[in-house]
Chain A
Amino acid sequence: MNIGYVLDDVTINEFGRGNTVVTQLIANLDARAIRMSIPAVTLAVAQHDLGDAQIDAVHGTIKFVEHVRLEAVSTLDETQRISEVYAYLADQPDPAAAHVVAVSRHLGFPVLTTNRKRWDPVLAQLPWTVEVFEISDTD
Chain B
Amino acid sequence: MTDVTTIKVPKALRDELNALADEGGRGTTLADVLAQLLEEHRAKVTRERNAAEALFAKAAADPDAVAKADRIARRAVEFLQTRKTS
- The number of A-B residue pairs with CB atoms under 8 Å apart is 99
B68 at the interface (CB under 8 A from A): yes
SS of A interface (majority): helix
A25 pairs with B69, CB closer than 8 A: yes
CA distance A56 to B59 in the complex (A): 17
Is the C-beta of A137 less than 8 angstroms from some C-beta in chain B?
Answer: yes
Interface-located stretch among B1-9, B11-19, B25-33, B77-85:
B77-85
**Size of B's binding interface in residues, CB under 8 A:** 31
A23-B80 contact, Cβ under 8 Å, with A29-B73, A63-B48, A63-B49? no
Give residues 120-139 of A contacting B (CB, 8 Å). Answer: 131, 133, 135-137
Chain B residues with CB under 8 Å of chain A are 45, 47-56, 58-60, 62, 64-66, 68-73, 76-77, 79-81, 83-84
